[in-house]
């Protein structure tokens, strides 16, 4: 008993320091995140009466939400946006990463150029894309001699947004993938060359399996970001745009519902739904990774 107390004196000092040092972060997280998380879930079962007062109404918000065509459209838009951006974006990023991993001159220069959109606020870059996509005077229609309403045609606008999203993220994803490629030992390629394997065979037999863990992480991150997309679509498609319902993502709908319409109860329900969707998508990816991600070596 006595001995235990003696050991615990030094340990107790250490424990106090531990608590003291995590205190600001933990208190901050509880106030700013844990409590708001609980409040949002509670508010999703409530009607907002104004000035932060809520009345419990049970499942009403969810019932209304599931009967609302705009809500299902927004869910569909968000999923379609993911389908458009994740595979194409990751494929192009991998292509850029493989090329930058080869012996090329100006490697740093290329990397700097591809990464550039990452340090530009989405609010600023989407502005120039709106101009490029402009139906009447935009340079894209002028180059191709076309008359496509890239941002206002309900059938096209989401694709245009996806193009901007891919353009914005390509350099970032490529840098992540490049770091994975650089960890592959050169000796594998040397051995394969001696055996007479072509570059294409080497890519599928060596590069792809070896980079698959990094590829998986990059894909998860891109998918999460796409499911949460908001700023880019908000800047591209303003609320008066006829294509709005065909383009707005769940978080955009959440923003409009909570802060434009002021119905924070139903806004909270949309937020809860989005979190569930992200959770399911992540689980699905982790389950699927067993089939293709290679953790050996």
Partner 1 sequence: MKTTSLERSKRMGQIVTYGALILGSIIMIFPFVWMILTSFKTQAESMKIPPVIFPSSFLLKNFSDAVASLPFFSMYANTILMIIFRVIFAVAFSSMAGYAFAKLHFKGKNILFGIVLMQMMLPSQIFIIPQYQMVAKLGIANSIAALVFPGLVSAFGTFFLRQSYLGIPNEVAEAAFLDGCNQWQTFTKVMFPLTSSSVAALTVFTAVFAYSDLMWPLVVNSDLNMMTLSSGLATLRGQFSTNFPVLMAGSLLAMLPMVVLYLFFQRQFIEGIAMTGGK
DSSP 30: I
- Residues between 32 and 61 that touch partner 1 (CB under 8 A): 32-37, 39-40, 43, 52
Q: Which is nearer to partner 1, 143 or 291 (CB)?
A: 143
Give the torsion sign (CA, 80, 81, 85, 86): negative
For partner 1, the binding residues in 78-97 under the rule CB under 8 A are: 95-96
Residue 153 CB contacts under 8 Å (≥ 6 apart), including other chains: 243
Closest by CA to 257, choosing from 270, 247, 248, is 270
> By CB under 8 A, what part of segment 240-259 binds partner 1?
251, 254-255, 258-259
* Residue closer to partner 1, measured from CB, 33 or 185: 33
Angstrom distance (rounded) from CA 88 to CA 104:
24
* In the complex, minimum distance from the CB of residue 226 to partner 1, in angstroms, rounded to a whole number: 12
Q: Which of 28, 87, 242, 288 binds partner 1 (CB under 8 A)?
A: 28
Site string for partner 1, 101-140 (x = CB under 8 A): -x-x---x-xxxxxxxxxxxxxxxx-xxxxxx-x-xx-x-
Binding residue for partner 1, selected from 75, 160, 274, 289, defined by CB under 8 A: 274
Tokens 């599931």 identify what position? Answer: 66
**Distance of alpha carbon 115 from alpha carbon 147, whole angstroms:** 31
CB of 111 to partner 1, least distance (A): 7
Residue with tokens 């353009």: 167
Per-residue tokens: 252: 């955009």
Touching partner 1, residues 165-224 (CB under 8 A): 167, 170-172, 175-176, 179, 199, 217, 221, 224
């Amino acid at each position: 008993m006595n001995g235990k107390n003696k050991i615990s004196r030094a340990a107790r000092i250490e424990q106090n320091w531990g608590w003291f040092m995590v205190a600001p972060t933990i208190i901050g997280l509880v106030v700013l995140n844990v409590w708001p998380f609980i409040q949002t879930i509670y508010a999703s079962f409530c009607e907002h009466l104004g000035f932060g007062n809520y009345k419990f109404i049970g499942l009403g918000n969810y019932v209304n939400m599931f009967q609302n065509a705009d809500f299902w459209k927004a869910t569909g838009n968000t999923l379609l946006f993911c389908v458009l951006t994740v595979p194409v974006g990751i494929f192009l990023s991998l292509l850029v990463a493989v090329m930058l991993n080869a012996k090329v001159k100006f490697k740093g220069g290329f990397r700097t150029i591809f990464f550039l959109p990452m340090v530009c606020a989405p609010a600023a870059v989407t502005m120039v894309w709106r101009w490029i996509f402009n139906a009447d005077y935009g340079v894209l229609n002028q180059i191709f001699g076309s008359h496509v309403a890239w941002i206002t045609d309900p059938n096209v606008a989401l694709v245009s947004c996806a193009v901007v999203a891919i353009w914005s993220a390509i350099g970032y994803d490529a840098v992540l993938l490049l770091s994975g490629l650089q960890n592959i030992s050169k000796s594998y390629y040397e051995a394969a060359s001696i055996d007479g394997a072509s570059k294409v065979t080497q890519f599928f037999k060596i590069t792809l399996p070896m980079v698959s863990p990094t590829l998986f992480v990059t894909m998860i991150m891109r998918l999460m970001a796409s499911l949460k997309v908001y700023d880019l679509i908000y800047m591209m498609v303003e609320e008066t745009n006829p294509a709005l319902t065909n383009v707005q993502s769940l978080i955009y709908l959440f923003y409009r519902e909570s802060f434009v319409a002021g119905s924070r109860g139903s806004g909270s329900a949309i937020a809860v739904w989005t979190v569930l969707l992200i959770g399911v998508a992540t689980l699905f990816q982790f389950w699927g990774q067993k089939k293709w991600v290679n953790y050996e070596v």
